[in-house]
Amino acid sequence: MKNLKIYAMLLAGVATLSSCSDDLLGSKGEGWIQLSGVSTDKGLSTETRAGEPVMAVDIVDGDGNTFVHADDWTTIQGESYLVKAGNTYTVKAYTAGGDAEAEGFDVAPYYEGSSDVTVKANQAQTVDVTCRLAQAKLSVNYCADWKRFVQEGFFAEVVGTDVRFEGEESRAAYLKAGRELKLRLIFTPVGKTYANTLEKTIVADTKAATHYKVNVNLNTDGNGNITVDVDETIHEYEVTLGVPVENNGIITAPINGDYSRVWGTSATLSGFVNEETGDPVQFMYAPSGTENWTTVDAGKVGETAEFAAEITGLQMGTAYDYKIVSGEMAGDVLTFTTEKYEEIPNLDFENWAQKGKTWYPNAVAAGNTEAGAYWSTGNEGVTSTLAGGNDPITTPVEDSRPGSAGTKCAEMHTITGVMLVGSASGNLFIGKYKTNFSKPAASVTFGRPYSGARPRKLSGWYKYSPKPINNGSYDEGRGITTDEANIYLKVWAADGSEIGYGEMVDGENVTEWKQFSFDVTYTDTTKPAATITIVATSSHYGGVFEGSSVIGKVGAGSQLWVDDFEIGY
């Protein structure tokens, strides 16, 4: 709600000299009503998307006659009006041109309020009018369990209005205060071909300036239920609408397309079971089109009716049938498909091409957009004449790790005294490189498009010869004195947000081939991968720039060798 403070200054005027002393606190004589100011207080507002409303003002006498009206209070600010002392007047404020009975997502909020004042002769008085939202608000949220249970196209509508909450509708709608709030829910359960309808009265009489938040969830006891949590301090009703389900209270929950539950080689199966259906609760799954069922025990999820089980060892890009089983009863058979495999080329670093002094870790001599380019290095920058060097900082060498099927590995080393940037660390990354002499830090673009299964782990082999820090100042305040190797994997979603990251940092001297492995941690498991990079560098902070110079701490001569990277899913 909004608090609209209207200050009405009542300046008393003396009608005759004889009334001067007797009428100071009485009802004789006349006074002047003056509107001196209006302010808006949003402290109690439930409305966040609308700006300041234009407020109209009426001043009404005791007989109900409006003797002062303004569509915008500011147009009469400071004006004085002669009235009789001793009478009571009402100051009303309301949204100009508004409609308190308008309903929908796009209607304007309507605020109103009033306050009475009795004029006393020869006294100035102040009137505060608190204006509150005159409508109710409604929002509908469909819980994750519910959305797994139904097919697309579900919606909830307010009976008797055109207000409809479809799918992911996140806006709140305005409703007329004092009306019955009845929701009609239309939905088609997964695996069914017909729509179900459920009508429930949320409240019999909506209150003004109150937000009704309805959460639609499942209920497996066969009855629709409503629970209400009221917080009068903020004028909110938190309502949970439990929707009854079929199949005698046992449901296989759909997980296909739910990236938080379906990965490349694993999946978390889900279902809902009425406690009376029997034990044990299990899941059965098999490659689609076969009867090679595997059974796993299910675990109860908290205090809910949901049961879940994680299954591993699945084939990527493969469809699986599954169902939940409880005692002698079973839910519907549903299907999910694991994330597909997408090859990342040259993880064994056997393919290299050379152009002039520059080596490229690809089958073609390119590190940017040409066909066949996938990996890149900073070699072009340090081998160019403008950079003042001729030492490629990343090269292939005949020194593969023991047991490797190939003969080559990638060698990276750090150099200093490089024109423009000061130092350059050996690097190898999935992405693009194009020298930008005016802004060297912008030469690198990390990542390539990727739509395969999200990596859960990166492993490989490395050797490292670190050198003492002899250049740069930045190291995140860690105070390192010896250089460090860094290998990391990063995944982005289609919206550009980083969703997965894992890394290895090592400053030890590793003279013999050593295996590394690290997990990729996902901060958002609801989105598929759209871009991926893997980065290896001989100096952990060699890519930290300030202006055109590298300020990260590095040690000239630090060397990193890597071989046979492998992604775990």
User: What pTM did the predictor assign?
Assistant: 0.68
Contact between 308 and 255 under an 8 Å Cβ cutoff? The reply is no
Bridge-partner residues for 421, per DSSP? none
Beta-carbon contacts of 290 under 8 Å, excluding residues fewer than 6 positions away, are none
Three-state SS for 467? coil
Residue extents of the structural domains in the chain: 3-133, 136-245, 248-337, 353-568
CA distance 461 to 540: 17
Extract the tokens encoding 304: 């809910």
Cβ atoms of 378 and 531 closer than 8 Å: no
Rg (CA), the chain: 36
Residue numbers of the chain with a pLDDT score lower than 50: 1-26, 41-46, 48-49, 385-386
Q: Please report where in the chains the tokens 């006294």 appear, as a residue.
A: 123
Cβ-based neighbours of 403, under 8 Å, separated by 6 or more: none
Q: Specify whether the CB–CB gap between 264 and 453 falls below 8 A.
A: yes
pLDDT the model gives residue 371: 78
Q: Structure tokens of 15?
A: 């009608």
Amino acid identity of 32?
A: W
Distance CA 514, CA 501 (A): 22
Residues contacting residue 563 through CB under 8 Å, at least 6 positions apart: 348, 349, 400, 401, 404, 406, 408, 409, 410, 460, 461, 462, 513
Question: Beta partners for 150?
Answer: 189
- CB 156, CB 181: distance < 8 Å: no
- Provide the pLDDT for residue 33: 74
Residue 217 pairs in a beta bridge with 242
Tokens representing 33 are 């009503």
Q: Mark residue 220 as left, alpha or beta (left: phi above 0; alpha: psi -120 to 50; beta: remaining).
A: alpha
According to CATH, the topology of domain 353-568 is Jelly Rolls (2.60.120)
Instruction: Report the alpha-carbon distance of residue 287 to residue 333 in Å, rounded.
Output: 12
What is the number of residues in the chain? 569
| Residue found by looking up tokens 């519910």 in the block | 146
DSSP annotation string for 511-549:
EEEEEEEEEPEES--SS---EEEEEEESSTTTT-EETTE
Whole-angstrom CA distances from 351 to 118, 385, 409, 516 are 93, 26, 10, 22
Q: What HEC string does 319-384 produce?
A: EEEEEEEECCEECCCEEEECCCCCCCCCCCCCCCEEECCEEECCCCCCCCCCCCCCEECCHHHHHC
What backbone torsions phi and psi does residue 120 show, to the nearest 5 degrees? -115, 140
Give the pLDDT of residue 8.
42
CATH 1.10.150.300 fits 248-337, yes or no: no
Count how many Cα atoms sit within 13 Å of the Cα of residue 407 in the half-sphere of its side chain: 2
Cα distance between residue 412 and residue 248, in whole Å: 64
Taking a C-beta distance cutoff of 8 angstroms, is the pair 379, 359 a contact? yes
- CA 15, 21, 22, 26 dihedral sign is positive
Plot region of 564 (φ>0 → left; ψ -120 to 50 → alpha; else → beta): left
Q: Residues 151, 226: contact at Cβ < 8 Å?
A: no
